[in-house]
Amino acid sequence: MDKSIIINGKKHTIDVDGDMPLLWFLRDRLAYTGTKFGCGSGLCGACTVHLNGQAIRSCVTPVSGLADQSITTIEGLSEHGDHPLQQAWLNNNVPQCGYCQAGQIMNAASLLATNAAPTDEEIDSAMQGNICRCGTYQRIKKAISDAADTLAKKA
């Protein structure tokens, strides 16, 4: 029987070589291009997606190991782009080129899911695997703090 994988709530048959990293299955097979290629070695975080809610680097995660698992990409993080992090990203005008930002947001969402009120040090520690060459780190930090505040008010 064909193996399948759930991406943003939708079931897809894994009809590629099982060694293919999830990144390329998403980008080249399914045209989910929001997830970016940056280094191919898990060094930059541009390809970050969620596996059952946890941030993973899709460029080094073979698709074969993900049968019946649930993947969320930036396209599926929220229905209307209204995740508190996405809103905080807009309010702080975080993106410059924006290429790394999907990975940054997905990584931050994974952080807030387990730690709703991270300290500055915890933000640094969680986000240190995500590179931004444009240098938007100050705004990323601020946006994550703002989103945590929003979540705290909702709670």
Partner 1 sequence: MSTLTKNTLTKSNSTISRRRFLKGAGVATGGLVIAVALPANALAQKGIMADNNAELNAFIHLADNGDTTIYCGRCEMGQGISTALPAAVADEMEADWQRVKVKQGDADEKYGPQGTGGSASIRVMYQPMREAGAKAKAMLIAAAAKVWNISPDNCYAKSHLVINIINQQTLTYGDLASLAKNSPVPEKVILKNKSDFNYIGSKLSRHDQDEVIVGKRIYGVDTKLPGLEYAAIIHCPVLGGKLKRLDKTAAMAMKGVTTVIDIPRFNVPFGSIGGVAVVADNSWTAQQAVQKLKIEWDLGENVVYNTKEYKQQLVANVEKPATLATERGDIDNAFSKASHKLQATYTGGHLSHAPMEPNASVVWVQKDSCEVWASTQSPADIQKVLGQYLQREPTDIIVHVAMAGGAFGRKYKCDYVHEAAVISEQTGTPIQLIWSREEDMRTGYYHSINAQHIEASMDEQGNVTGWLHRAAFPSIGTLFNPALVRTPAKNLNDITTHLFGVDNMRVESGDAKAHTRIGWYRAVYAIFYGFAFSTFADELANKVGKDHLSFVNQLYDNNNNKKQQTEIARAKAVLALAADKSAWHSRNNLPKNQGIGLAVHYSFQSFVAMAVHVEVNGDDIKVLNVNCAIDCGQVLNLDGATAQMEGAVVMGMSLALSTEISFKDGAVVNANFHDYPVMRITDMPNVQVHITDSDQPPTGLGEPGVAPFAPALSNAVFAASGKRYRDLPFKPLFA
- Which residue in 12, 37, 69, 150 binds partner 1 (CB under 8 A)? 37
The whole-angstrom separation of Cα 96 and Cα 118 is: 25
- Strand 70-72 relative to strand 10-13: parallel, antiparallel, unpaired? unpaired
The whole-angstrom separation of Cα 82 and Cα 137 is: 21
Does position 21 interact with partner 1 (CB under 8 A)? The reply is yes
- Which residue in 55, 123, 147, 148 binds partner 1 (CB under 8 A)? 123
Tokens at 31, concatenated: 């045209």
Tokens at 133, concatenated: 């060459």
The whole-angstrom separation of Cα 20 and Cα 78 is: 27
How many residues bind partner 1 (CB under 8 A)? The answer is 62
- Which residue in 64, 75, 150, 151 binds partner 1 (CB under 8 A)? 75
Question: Among residues 14 and 94, whose Cβ is nearest to partner 1?
Answer: 94
Q: Measured from the CB of residue 34, what is the shortest distance to partner 1 in angstroms?
A: 2
Contact code string over 80-119 relative to partner 1, x by CB under 8 A: -x----x--xx--xxxxxxxxxx--x--------------
Q: What is the identity of the amino acid at 65?
A: G
The secondary element (H helix, E strand) that includes residue 144 is helix 137-154
Partners of 12 in the beta sheet?
A: 5
Q: Measured from the CB of residue 65, what is the shortest distance to partner 1 in angstroms?
A: 15
Does position 72 interact with partner 1 (CB under 8 A)? The reply is no
Cβ atoms < 10 Å from Cβ of 41:
9
Applying CB under 8 A, which residues contact partner 1? 16-17, 20-21, 23-24, 27-41, 43-44, 46, 73-75, 77-78, 81, 86, 89-90, 93-102, 105, 123-125, 127-141
